[in-house]
């Protein structure tokens, strides 16, 4: 056998071993944080890629229920981490970035129908603009069990911004929400998923407890609470199968300890 053949055979065995290990060893016990944007029947073309149509969203929620998942908020996760709350057997967190108006008109009724919780991250300078949530809707959503988080004031990536502006984006967006009747804002979502090593400390100084990235993976109490990983759920092109594969990908990435730092334009 030539050296090349031996090498290829070895590689095949290695790949087979990895595949068997992924398939047969128990999947990691981690909490998925799903990353959505819009749930609406019709959206403009720019938003299409981030929109999950209501029918497909319902199929996803049906699947999560069948799998025994119970939705929790980011604050529930932090309470449980500090031993102040018991988590359900299979917790999952649903998050929605940017604060689109359809989160109120289309998403909220579906969540209520399923008895599920969610966290909505709003861009405070967009509040009340066409296509975005207004203050009344935000307060009503909060009264109906939705957790509101900050996605900064202007949605500019925080990386590469000077420290004074970073502070404004992080601090003023939180204050504005709280001044307008939103409960203490504990949770934050990095615009475009862009973060650097200094940002967790800045968020902690500004009394945030958690932040979500766009990095793929699941979360445990050992995960840095300011670098929570998510499972991105864009417009599905392959139906429910794609949703299942995206959840599986996060499990596999967690298991293989692959850290995929993604920056997306959302
Ligand atoms: Zn965003």
**Whole-number Å distance between alpha carbons of 183 and 174:** 10
What one-character DSSP code corresponds to residue 71? E
Segment 232-253, tens digit of pLDDT: 999 999 999 999 999 998 888 8
Q: Mean pLDDT across the stretch 145-170?
A: 96
Domain 29-256 of CATH type 3.20.20.370: yes
pLDDT at residue 28, rounded to an integer? 60
Cβ contact 203:173 at 8 Å: no
**Whole-number Å distance between alpha carbons of 151 and 136:** 18
**Whole-number Å distance between alpha carbons of 200 and 208:** 9
| Pairwise pLDDT comparison (98 vs 8), residue with the higher score | 98
The DSSP H or E segment spanning 210 is strand 210-216
**Cα of 266 to ligand 1 centre, how many Å?**
4
**Cα of 190 to ligand 1 centre, how many Å?**
8
- For 154, other C-beta atoms within 10 Å of its C-beta total 15
- For 205, other C-beta atoms within 10 Å of its C-beta total 11
**Whole-number Å distance between alpha carbons of 225 and 242:** 27
**Cα of 90 to ligand 1 centre, how many Å?**
27
Q: Please determine, for residue 23, whether its predicted confidence score (pLDDT) is greater than 80.
A: no
**Cα of 36 to ligand 1 centre, how many Å?**
10
**Cα of 18 to ligand 1 centre, how many Å?**
35
**Cα of 189 to ligand 1 centre, how many Å?**
8
**Cα of 209 to ligand 1 centre, how many Å?**
19
* The dihedral sign for the CA sequence 147, 153, 154, 159: negative
Q: Please determine, for residue 264, whether its predicted confidence score (pLDDT) is greater than 60.
A: no
Q: Please determine, for residue 266, whether its predicted confidence score (pLDDT) is greater than 60.
A: no
**Cα of 249 to ligand 1 centre, how many Å?**
22
**Cα of 155 to ligand 1 centre, how many Å?**
6
pLDDT at residue 204, rounded to an integer? 98
What end-to-end distance do the CA atoms of the chain give, in Å?
52
Q: Please determine, for residue 46, whether its predicted confidence score (pLDDT) is greater than 70.
A: no
- Kindly report the average pLDDT of the chain as a whole number: 91
C-alpha dist (Å) from residue 239 to 53, 59, 205, 253: 11, 9, 42, 22
**Cα of 97 to ligand 1 centre, how many Å?**
5
**Strand, coil or helix: what is 98?**
strand
**Cα of 211 to ligand 1 centre, how many Å?**
13
**Cα of 100 to ligand 1 centre, how many Å?**
10
**Cα of 253 to ligand 1 centre, how many Å?**
23
**Whole-number Å distance between alpha carbons of 236 and 63:** 15
Segment 175-216, tens digit of pLDDT: 999 999 999 999 999 999 999 999 999 999 999 999 999 998
């Amino acid at each position: 056998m030539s050296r090349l053949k031996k090498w290829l055979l070895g590689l095949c065995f290695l790949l087979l071993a990895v595949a068997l290990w992924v398939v047969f060893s128990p999947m990691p016990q981690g909490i998925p944080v799903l990353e959505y944007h819009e749930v609406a029947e019709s959206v403009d073309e720019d938003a299409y890629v981030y929109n999950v149509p209501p029918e497909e969203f319902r199929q996803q929620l049906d699947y999560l229920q069948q799998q025994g998942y119970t939705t929790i908020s980011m604050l529930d996760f932090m309470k449980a981490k500090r031993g102040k709350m018991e988590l359900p057997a299979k917790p999952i967190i649903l998050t929605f970035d940017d604060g689109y108006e359809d989160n109120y008109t289309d998403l909220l009724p579906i969540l209520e129908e399923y008895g599920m919780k969610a966290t909505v991250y709003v861009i405070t300078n967009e509040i009340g603009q066409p296509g975005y949530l207004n203050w009344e809707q935000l307060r009503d959503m909060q009264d109906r069990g939705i957790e509101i988080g900050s996605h900064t004031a202007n949605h500019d990536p925080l990386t590469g911004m000077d420290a004074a502006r970073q502070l404004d984006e992080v601090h003023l967006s939180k204050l504005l929400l709280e001044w307008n009747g939103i409960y203490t804002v504990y949770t934050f979502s990095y615009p475009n998923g862009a973060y650097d090593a200094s940002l967790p400390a800045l968020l902690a100084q500004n009394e945030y407890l958690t932040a979500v990235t766009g990095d793929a993976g699941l979360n445990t109490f050992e995960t840095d609470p300011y670098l929570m990983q998510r499972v991105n759920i864009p417009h599905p092109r392959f139906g429910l199968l794609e949703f299942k594969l995206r959840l599986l990908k996060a499990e596999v990435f967690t298991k293989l300890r692959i850290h995929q730092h993604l920056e997306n334009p959302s």
